[in-house]
Homo-oligomer: A and B are copies of this chain.
Amino acid sequence: MVITISREFGSGGREIGKRLADALGLAYYDSEIITMIAKETGMSEEYIKNISEKGVYPYTFHFAKSFLNSSPVPNSQIEVFVKQNKIIKEIAQKGNCVIVGRAANIILKEYNTIDLFIYADMKSKIERCKLKADENENLTEKEIEKKIIEINKNRKKFHNIISNEEWGKKENYDLCVNTSSIDIKDIISPLKNYIENWFRRN
């Protein structure tokens, strides 16, 4: 059972991932992947974090794309990308896990995963970000909105560079969940149930 969760920033996707992992007794991977890449490459987590999902120069990525299945490439950005690819596949091979972000649904195309996309309207995304007061306590609503738009633009860009499948396009996911008017806690049990039934078939 491998669950990938793609999500808009501020939609509660990470919380859904964590709670689903708990409810289903699965391993949970998000920033853990950063730590694993750091361990394998000796690079700093901060540096890797910047590359792993924010997207670097398109040129570098296009270059990386053609080397995806080949041996390590000197450029450190490409190295991060290749390692991330390898680690996500290793994680999936072990099975029974939830992987949040990092275009895992694309990297694991040939695996039997259930792919969720979590989204929400801007108002709810701002509300959710405001609740994480430690991160955003000095930002105005306008600034939070700007941050949300920027991060999501980067996620879309990153995703569209490594794949022909459009980020957030419902056809590329098994289930798309709008969290605008819900409490995340309320949907964990039905989602767990949905996923269990899905894997019973697939």
Contact = CB atoms under 8 A, between A and B. Distances in A.
Interface of A: 117, 119, 121, 168, 170-171, 173-178, 180-183, 186-187, 189-191, 193-194, 197-198, 200-202
Given A119-B171, A170-B170, A194-B194, A200 B176 contact: no
Contacts of A186: 197-198, 200-201
B121 A171 contact: yes
A181 B197 contact: no
Given A187-B197, A190-B190, A194-B191, A175 B173 contact: no
A170 B119 contact: yes
Contacts of A197: 182, 186-187, 189-190
A181 B193 contact: no
A182 B170 contact: no
Contacts of A180: 174
Contacts of A170: 117, 119, 168, 170, 176, 178
Contacts of A176: 170, 173, 175-176, 178
Nearest to A198: B182
Nearest to A186: B197
A171 B179 CA distance: 10
Given A186-B201, A190-B197, 13 more contacts: A117-B170, A119-B171, A173-B178, A174-B178, A174-B181, A175-B176, A175-B177, A175-B178, A176-B178, A181-B202, A182-B198, A187-B194, A190-B193
Contacts of A202: 181-182
A24 to B, nearest CB: 13
Contacts of A178: 170-171, 173-176
Contacts of A177: 175
A201 B173 contact: no
Nearest to A183: B201
10 contacts: A168-B170, A175-B178, A176-B176, A183-B201, A186-B200, A187-B197, A190-B191, A190-B194, A191-B194, A194-B194
